[in-house]
Structure 1
């Protein structure tokens, strides 16, 4: 029998991680987010900071991901993708859970009873939220959002050949800026 898994994909700053953790807590399920990075580091031998960065960059950079074309064999990012793929699959096999990011929606598409969620919000809401959550930086919050989202989209496209954030790839998309983080949690719990 397939386990019920909630996958949360999200725009940077939309509160997807917070929503995922709250949903898991309220449903009494484990939530995997940064734990995936730690498990991948443990199995690969790479440092956590390297895994964290590599998980949002498509191999060969933006141009290579846009072309979806390889000129050489597997690289570190491919090796890490395989490890991450196996970890996510194993976690879903262990039991119901919430998994935030890391293309879990794609990885589990055929192996789990998946509720695929995408959390988004407008630029103003996300900019205000990342300043509050992560503090001021030298670059503008809007530029940070655009850069992070562009990297996530390229990574997702490279490994899944799907457009990140497009509604047809998810069961539900929620605008956390409009309906609020707590209401997103309630909606997701109601669908579980």
Structure 2
């Protein structure tokens, strides 16, 4: 069956965002990443800056702290409101058109659809470090810290809202090592598997 929607989850520095953007271009379909922030902000009533920082990343360091973040009288936290707005936007995008969606727990949000292919992109530490150093103009130690922090926050958000384990192969259709395969081959595999 043809997969209309491709979700891409990724480790920081693996090139998952770049791979997803290229796949969308080559397939001639829509690409959604940070360009949905304003829509999520509008639905949640929060600022685009807040959504950008918190829609995919947990604001706290640990799952326990995340679970008990400030909640209102209904039991919802600001993060819950962001997640619910994000969920509605992603469900609407999936109904609207074929697309590639980067991160934001889209694999889980769209789990009940049979026209979705979920991809997880990971890579070797040394190559990810070099990529981050180049892209962000930082030293190796800072690149390692950025990777650890970003991936921990993605994992905490994902694990909390999906009750699944971030990066666990069983949650995805494909798990690709961009360091071993290269970006071009990752793109070709994704496109071949989506047909």
Deviations 1:75-101 (A, max 9, x none): 111011111000000000002110000
Q: Does 1:123 align with 2:129?
A: no
Q: Does 1:185 align with 2:184?
A: no
> Secondary structure at 1:118's aligned position in 2?
strand
Q: Which blocks of at least 5 consecutive residues in structure 1 are unaligned? A: none
How far 1:115 sits from its partner (Å)? 0.4
Equivalences, count: 190
1:1-192 map, 5 Å: 4-58=4-58, 61-64=61-64, 72=71, 73-136=75-138, 140-192=142-194
Q: Distance in 2 between matches of 1:26 and 1:170?
A: 22
Which shifted more, 57-66 or 166-175? Answer: 57-66
How far 1:122 sits from its partner (Å)? 1.2
Residues 20 and 102, structure 2, Cα contact 8 Å, conserved in 1:
yes
RMSD after superposition: 2.2
Q: Distance in 2 between matches of 1:177 and 1:106?
A: 25
How far 1:137 sits from its partner (Å)? 6.4
User: Which stretches of structure 1, 4 residues or more, deviate above 3 A after TM superposition?
Assistant: 56-61, 68-72
> Secondary structure at 1:31's aligned position in 2?
strand
How far 1:139 sits from its partner (Å)? 5.6
* TM-score, L = length of structure 1: 0.90
